[in-house]
Structure 1
Amino acid sequence: MRISVIGCGYLGAVHAASMAHLGHDVVGIDVDEAKIALLSAGRPPFFEPGLPEVLESATPSGRLRFTTDFSAVSESDVHFVAVGTPQVADGDAADMRFVDAAFASLLEHVKPGDLIVGKSTVPVGTAARLADLVASVQPEVTLAWNPEFLREGFAVSDTVNPDRLVYGVPEGESGERAARLLNEVYESAVAAGTPVIVTDYATSELVKVSANAFLATKISFINAMAEIAEVTGADVTKLADAIGHDARIGRRFLNAGVGFGGGCLPKDIRAFSARARELGKGEAVRFLDEVDKINLRRRTRVVELVREEAGGLAGVRVGVLGLAFKPHSDDLRDSPALDIAMRLADAGAIVTASDPQAIENARHRAPQLLFAETAEDAVRGADVVVLITEWPEFTGLDPVAVGDLVAHRTIIDGRNALDPAAWRAAGWTYRGLGR
């Protein structure tokens, strides 16, 4: 099929490359000339495992190209809008300027019979509003909403082999045709038996934010239990194992630590709460405010643990392992790791941080930090070591060998990812969260 993807940030670039990988003819469009130049050369502007290989295979074949020229969409029949919806600077709501601008530009070039497909995470009610706009400009164009469920670090496989497909479409023949076209786009996944949920606009919009709200709640729940465990002597990891055996609960997303971050969960639950308040139903999701507060408290707790162990922060040398919000990513958006490192430095600590992928991004965001290419260099001479992003390079460190590098054998395990017994046996003071 002939497909255009509007917006070549994280979501759009992955979607465009994955669609070409599936055999479609794809053009990706973005206003950022530097980003387009990189993608055209087969180089992603961010780190995502598997994406370079997909770009390298699809770009030379001619199935995938990138441009800043919006008129290129006229060659396509299906148009995915995948621009960002960040949090507004002065509140919790989603910033819809980029979505609205993308639709305004797109509608100048679409033709009768085309299908526009929203993939951006938007406040419920957005699709209906945009459908009215589309109908007023080009009545023979249909709008569908197809939310994404990508996990950073696994985004390519999640696009090519999704665990479900959700189509928000209008009623009647136009909606049926939209669903058929989307089934053609995702033909391989549909043929493999991927569940397909065809629903209305509002439900499709709520699916993504509801899923993120649930996951955020589950993470904050176990972190709340960690707070109780810390004052009672319980072990939150054993607690999570025990309740995780209950099939109604499950063990996934029950890992206590410094909490969630990234470009989705934090801003999505805040935007969801803001939209609920606009709808006069703020009380229905008021618990998400507490979910957010619990999550942020865990960052403060790590700083407190460093202060406790070092007897203060001024002049204390801290080796921080991790900057990205999760392993297998270079994403620093709302990263607990970067936030904690900056808080420590701002309180007077001398912080040297390392991360396999995120150092260059962090240099611009946190000039108060020192950076090291390796974990060994980051912890050399440290009074306290803090593990915050559970990269395999960090969780696999030998506590005996690392012990020879530091000034004091004290480690704060912000992800409960290490074996406390092994580190203590090597002479370390080990502090986890809720352990």
Structure 2
Amino acid sequence: MDTPDVDVVVVGGGIIGLATAYQISRRFPDHQVIVLEKEKVLAQHQSGRNSGVLHSGIYYKPGSLKSINCQQGRSVMQAFCEQHDIPHEVCGKVIVATEKSELGRLDEIYQRGKQNGVDCVKLDADQLRAVEPYCRGIAAIQVKSAGIVDYRRVCFRLCELILDEGGEVHTDTRLLGVAKYNNQIVVETSKGPFQTSLLVNCAGLQSDRVAKLCGHNPEVKIVPFRGEYYEFSEKARHLCRGLIYPVPDPAFPFLGIHVTRTIFGSVECGPNAVLAFSREGYGKWDVNLRDLWDAVGYRGFHKLAAKHWNVGIEEMRRSYFQSVFLTSLQRLIPAVSANDLFAAPAGVRAQALRKDGSLVDDFVIQKEENFIHVLNAPSPAATASLNIGAMIAEQSADVLNA
């Protein structure tokens, strides 16, 4: 069988992979781009299992990849949704301090938001109640530019546009091996081989493994954290008008238990963040022994667990005891009761972890000759995806113009 020649192979059919393929197709219209996705349907993991929030960029360190790409990416994503009739809404959010000890951190977030050019204002308790009548807090920040969107629909539309540009999207196609000969890469898949000039690794939960398959030695390892959510009953949906977030713990790249209205009209709350026993394990008892050993056998995980064991135990308590989760939730919305909560689909976050036990907070995108590896793309990656794709297209220029 002859090996098909293509210009770019993108591994991963989530929103980052599809946005990257789309942006490369637009910038280099004479180059053929294909996407390889191991699942039978696109956006089956992080891209299709998130809260659908259009983030503002208020939290991120000025000058970081998260800050730059979220600020620019939000506007691009909003325009994309408007152009392609994808459901979205700019509903705004509040970040709420429920006790005096959080006021200092709340002010730091506000100052960072101002540095990042985010449209945000401070609220006192009365002003907060005017925005979110059922939310309890002593102070808050209102972020008017935050919103909600259907990211799965974004993925499907990106796929259509890639096909329109002459590209290909291969689902149910598993990556088996990668070999390099001179300046060409041979990609072995379950549907046969491809020869390409550039491989872009956007494999999300499997990104570190794909990098190793390509001969790259990543500085980080993906450790999966399962995010568990509840959904409000229909009669309780009025308790949240938009997006309600707590003041986050600065030691962790997680935003704490928050309440979000979705573009479908439902209201979700969560997540708990607990170690997943499988990289694609969405149930409490889903176990993949290779994935589990990969995580718990990693030196960086040992150091993380030793330093933050108390936080891990609290997350597990919230996971296994709804009453503990409810207590955390009632700090923000006292009126919600156990009868108002129903289990919602969980997600798994691909969290990059260093050997020293530190959680990687920023995006990590590494270029090595004619390979580009996206090794950490947590929230707000969906919001920033079109901008990330454009950035990767820019990094591709030296290979594709050669």
Q: Which has the larger radius of gyration?
A: 1
More helix, by proportion: 1
Alignment TM-score, normalising by the size of structure 2: 0.24
More strand, by proportion: 2
- Tell which has more relative contact order, 1 or 2 (C-alpha 8 A, sep 6+): 2
